[in-house]
């Protein structure tokens, strides 16, 4: 998947409430739109990049425009809350391994 899209990574959006993930679209916003159409709530959706050739913490990159939420305290494209990062890592690990 990675080689066919961006070369070394794929984009994904994780719903931290439903513990589901959408992978492999050109934009995180497209994945977000799909999950919203399936009943997800925007505040539960976080964009990440997955690097299949890397291990450990390098496998997931917390970087997406959909993560910018100044009104909710997330002022960067990353995921500023370490508890949310941990939840995302757990969901991704469960779904991929």
What share of the chain in percent tops pLDDT 90? 84
Mean pLDDT of 63-75: 95
- Contact between 46 and 13 under an 8 Å Cβ cutoff? The reply is yes
Which residue's entry shows tokens 């976080």?
A: 46
What's the pLDDT score for residue 97? 73
> What pLDDT is recorded for position 4?
57
pLDDT of residue 24: 87
| pTM of this prediction exceeds 0.85 | yes
Q: Which of 1-10, 12-21, 45-54 has the lowest mean pLDDT?
A: 1-10
Nearest one of 92, 71, 94, 86 to 22, comparing CA atoms? 92
Query: Residue 71 burial by CB count (10 A; 0-12/13-18/19+): exposed, middle or buried?
Result: exposed
Residues in the chain: 97
Long-range Cβ pairs for the range 18-26 (8 Å, 24+): 18/44, 19/91, 19/94, 19/95, 20/91, 20/95, 21/91, 21/92, 21/95, 23/50
């Amino acid at each position: 998947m990675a080689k066919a899209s961006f070369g070394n990574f794929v984009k994904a959006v994780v719903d931290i409430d439903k513990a589901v993930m959408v992978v492999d679209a050109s934009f995180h916003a497209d994945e977000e739109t799909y999950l919203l159409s399936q009943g997800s709530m925007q505040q539960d959706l976080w964009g990440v990049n997955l690097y299949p050739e890397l291990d450990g913490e390098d496998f997931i990159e917390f970087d997406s425009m959909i993560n910018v939420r100044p009104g909710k305290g997330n002022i960067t494209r990353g995921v500023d809350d370490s508890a949310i990062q941990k939840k995302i890592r757990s969901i991704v690990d469960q779904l991929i391994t």
